[in-house]
């Protein structure tokens, strides 16, 4: 309402139905029902996804569900129709981050917008420029994705280093099968 074309928001588009097929197969193999008609119904199905004697099943189903999702992205409110502001994963019609400005640059921007709204400080000219906000949200999305990739690569490297000279017998779950690979 106050920044109709220059608010920095975060949206999570509704995933296409076919993206949930791996989750449907996993639920069916376990004899469970999956309701993906809404994010609330999906959350309830995941909450109820329990198998007696298998403490890891629920966590595994949540991992599979996450892989079915589309990526949440930052955007400028002037770039997207209002009915596309939805954050599917949080079941929220409109959402933004504004928690810790030391953690994400997006939070710094939102804090500046809030400070201007509350008349604590003036809104910088750049944050009144729709095209600037569009470019900024694209850069933030790229940096966010790169940070995720770096975090995963770091975890993978440290796992490999840890297990390099150790023999460990452990149970594992195959979460995906490809012609040339297994995902465990």
Give the number of domains in the chain.
Answer: 1
Instruction: Tell me the pLDDT tens digit for each residue of 161-175.
Output: 988 888 888 888 787
Residue 42 to residue 91: CA distance in whole angstroms: 10
1 domain-assigned: no
Burial zone of 14 (CB within 10 Å; 0-12 exposed, 13-18 middle, 19+ buried):
middle
Percent of the chain topping pLDDT 90? 73
Asked if residue 168 belongs to a domain, the reply is: yes
pLDDT of residue 183: 80
Enumerate residues 6+ apart whose C-beta is below 8 A from 99.
107
3-15 confidence digits (pLDDT tens): 889 999 999 999 9
> What stretch of H or E contains 167?
none
Residues 69-116: pLDDT tens digits? 999 999 999 999 999 999 998 989 999 987 776 778 999 999 999 999
Residue 38 phi/psi, 5° resolution?
A: -155, 165
Is 137 inside any structural domain?
yes
Mean pLDDT value across residues 1-30: 92
The answer to whether position 36 is within a domain reads yes
In a domain, 3, yes or no: no
Range of the domain at 48: 8-183
């Amino acid at each position: 309402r106050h920044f109709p074309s220059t608010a920095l928001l975060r949206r999570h588009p509704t995933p296409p139905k076919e993206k949930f097929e791996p989750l449907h197969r996993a639920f069916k193999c376990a004899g469970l029902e999956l309701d993906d008609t809404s994010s609330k119904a999906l959350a309830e199905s995941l909450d109820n996804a329990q198998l007696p004697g298998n403490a890891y099943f629920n966590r595994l189903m949540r991992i599979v569900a996450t892989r079915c999702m589309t990526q949440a992205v930052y955007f400028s409110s002037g770039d997207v129709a209002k009915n596309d502001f939805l954050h599917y994963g949080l079941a929220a019609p409109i959402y933004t981050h504004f928690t810790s400005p030391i953690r994400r640059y997006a939070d710094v921007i939102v804090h500046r917008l809030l400070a201007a709204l509350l008349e604590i400080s003036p809104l910088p000219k750049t944050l009144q420029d729709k095209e600037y906000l569009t470019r900024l949200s694209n850069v933030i999305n790229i940096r966010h994705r790169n940070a995720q990739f770096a975090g995963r690569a770091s975890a993978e490297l440290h796992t490999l280093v840890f297990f390099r000279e150790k023999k460990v017998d452990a149970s594992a779950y195959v979460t995906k099968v490809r012609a040339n690979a297994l995902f465990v």
